[in-house]
Amino acid sequence: MINPWPSFVRQLTSVSIAVSGRNVLSMAILLILLIGGSLSEESRVDAASPASLAIAAQDILAQISSGEPLDYNNVTITGPLDLGPGEESVRPSIKITNSRFLGPVKIEGVTFNEFLDLRGCTFEDNVSFIKSRFLGDAKFAGAKFRKQSDFAETYFSGAASFIATAFQGDSSFSSSQFEGDAIFLNCDFASDVDFNYAKFLRSGSFLNADFDDVSFFETQFSGQVTFRSAQFKGNSTFAATRFDSDVLFRAARFWKGSTFGLSSFGGLADFGNVDFNRTAFFGGVKFSDLAYFANARFNGDLILEGARLYSMQLDNASFNESSKINLNSTDFSKFVVHWSTLQSRMVYNGAAYLALVKNYKSLEWFDEADECYYQYRRIGQDQAPWGWDKLSDIVSWLSCGYGVRVSYTAFWCLFTILIFGIIFWAGKGMNKFEIEGMELPGDTRLRPSARVSFTDALYFSIAMFTTSQAPVNTYPVGVYRHLAMAEGILGWFFLGLFVVVLSAVLIR
């Protein structure tokens, strides 16, 4: 530190000469200003001066070997730091904070009996802790790894703290085991990172973490884990990952493809408000508890093929116009999503449609069950080859909407009555007699009246349709007798069908 007092004394002497003969108050003010200026200059010198002390990596190794605790702050470690296999356990605690490691750091197969504190350190070269064991807490909060960092097969007995750590090169935690809490809060993984085969035996936190390409293949999370508000800017893989407890992805964003194939979720799986910008693959996934996707946004496809769902909620989920939803071979007990969301996006599969129909009925969403069944039959009809089965399907479709459209049957009832009434009236297909006295068959007193009115023809058509019997004093003539019989047969058919369909709709 630079001593400001000699400079201050010289200035004070010159000032004393300049102010001689003036009043004491003026001199006091000048003294205060000079003291403030000198102290300010001291602060500027301290801030601009080199703050870190250079220490050779060999000196650090020697101190570790001597068993002395390390406690450094704001130093620069020069040269390669190599503490390889064969070394005895590192017994003392190591604390090197806010410092720089200029050379590569290679600490492989080493056991740290006490805590390791490297908070705020910057590693300018490659770093390797492969197969090392941390029996105390491992603190890397605020650290920066400029190049590759490798923690493969590393064992963390205590808490592993990587809060706000920046991984600017490729990094790996493959096959690592976290016995304590694993805290990757606000971490920035600017390049590839893999946690393949890693085991998180307690809680894990990736809150607000930023990932590029990341892989959690066959990773095990035994405790609660959160990826809340995390950003997955590259491809993200959670294939065959096991979440034994609750997992939160709420408000996370997957910028590219996301794969959860063959993963299992033992607790709550919260994907609420998550953005899936591309295909979200959940094929073969097992959700043993609630899968919560409320307000999620899918710009690509949602694939649940072969998944097993205990209960899944897609309330208010939004999909792109071109998005598809694949439920082929999906087994679910409760699937809470309105048919309007799935209607134009379902990949056709008969078993999936019928499972959805059963699901909607169990939810007491009967109208949506009818809509789902109707679309299932309609698509199946379009895909079927021409034959008797397809013809019978067409009849079922037109007559009653496959048993779920009572309005179709009502329409055909009214249409049949109206069209036959018009035919009887326009073709003069019926006569009406005005009877005087007793009505007897073949009575010569029966006189045909003029052409019947349209109202009488419509009345005649209604009677034939509902009872197959003509009204008194009215009868069809010529070929219209056969039409009247045909209308009666159609009446029995449509009325019976109307009763059956209406009963199915009302009694449920």
128 CB-near residues (< 8 Å, 6+ apart): 104, 105, 106, 107, 108, 149, 150
Residue 245, judged by CB atoms within 10 A of its CB (0-12, 13-18, 19+), counts as middle
Predicted local distance difference test score (pLDDT) of residue 456 = 85
- Please report which helix (H) or strand (E) contains residue 161, including its range: strand 160-161
Q: Residue ranges of the alpha helices (H) in 20-129?
A: 24-48, 57-65
- Angle value at C-alpha 94, between 90 and 98, nearest 5 degrees: 150
Q: What is the pLDDT of residues 430-458, one digit of tens each?
A: 877 655 444 445 554 544 555 678 888 88
Are the C-beta atoms of residues 194 and 174 closer than 8 Å to each other? yes
pLDDT at 32 over 80: no
Q: Is residue 219 part of a domain?
A: no
Choosing from 350, 383, 416, the residue where a domain stops is 383
* Residues 356 and 412 reside in one and the same domain: no
Burial class for 21, CB neighbours closer than 10 Å (0-12, 13-18, 19+) = exposed
Residues 173 and 81 in one domain: yes
Residue 144 lies in a domain: yes
- The structure's pTM equals 0.76
β-pairing verdict for 94-97 and 286-292: unpaired
**φ, ψ for residue 76, nearest 5 deg:** -120, 120
Return the pLDDT at 51.
52
8: CB partners within 8 A, 6+ apart: 34, 35, 38
pLDDT band at 52; cut points 50, 70, 90: confident
Q: Is residue 441 part of a domain?
A: yes
Beta strands in 79-115 (DSSP E): 81-83, 94-97, 100-101, 105-107, 111-112
The answer on 338 and 450 residing in a single domain is no
- Sheet with 236-237, side-by-side order of all strands: 81-83, 105-107, 127-128, 149-150, 171-172, 193-194, 214-215, 236-237, 258-259, 280-281, 302-303, 325-326
Most confident of 20-34, 101-115, 466-480, 491-505: 101-115
Q: Are residues 413 and 477 in the same domain?
A: yes
3-state secondary structure (DSSP) of residue 363 = coil
Total number of residues shown for the chain: 508
Same domain as 197, residue 124? yes
* pLDDT tens string 243-299: 999 999 999 999 999 999 999 999 999 999 999 999 999 999 999 999 999 999 999
321 Rama class: left (phi>0) / alpha (psi -120 to 50) / beta: alpha
pLDDT in tens, 115-170: 999 999 999 999 999 999 999 999 999 999 999 999 999 999 999 999 999 999 99
How many separate domains does the chain show? 4
Residue 229 in domain: no
Task: Please list, in sequence order, all residues whose beta carbon lies within 8 angstroms of the beta carbon of residue 47, skipping any fewer than 6 positions away.
Answer: none
Do 344 and 451 sit in the same domain of this protein?
no
pLDDT digits (tens, 9 = 90+) for 303-332: 999 999 999 999 899 999 999 999 999 999
Which tens digit of pLDDT belongs to each residue from 275-286? 999 999 999 999
Residues 59 and 172 reside in one and the same domain: yes
For the chain, percent of residues with pLDDT exceeding 90: 66
Question: Which of 184, 205, 226 is the last residue in one of the domains?
Answer: 205
Asked, for residue 140, whether it belongs to a domain, the answer is yes
Radius of gyration of the chain (CA): 43
Q: Note the pLDDT of residue 479.
A: 86
Other CB atoms within a 10 A radius of the CB of residue 263 amount to 25
pLDDT-based confidence at residue 402 (cuts at 50, 70, 90): confident
Q: How confident is the model at residue 416 (pLDDT cuts 50, 70, 90)?
A: very high
Same domain, 161 and 71: yes
Domain of 498: which CATH number? 1.10.287
**Residue 96 and residue 37 share a domain:** no
How many angstroms separate the CA atoms of 201 and 242, rounded? 11
Per the domain annotation, does 392 fall within a domain? no
Q: What is the pLDDT of residue 30?
A: 32
For residues 35 and 176, membership in a common domain is answered with: no
21 domain-assigned: yes
- Provide the residue range defining the domain that includes 497: 406-506
311 in any annotated domain? yes
| pLDDT for 15 | 33
Tokens found for residue 367:
């109208």
* pLDDT per position as a tens digit, 467-477: 888 776 787 88
- Residue 13: pLDDT above 50? no
Domain co-membership, 192 together with 95: yes
Give the pLDDT score at 129: 96
Mean pLDDT of 364-388: 91
pLDDT at 180 over 60: yes
**Is the CB of residue 216 less than 8 Å from the CB of residue 199?**
no
Measured in whole angstroms, how far is the alpha carbon of residue 16 from the centre of its chain?
Answer: 77
Closest CA to 341 of 372, 318, 363: 318
Whether residue 172 sits in one domain with residue 42: no
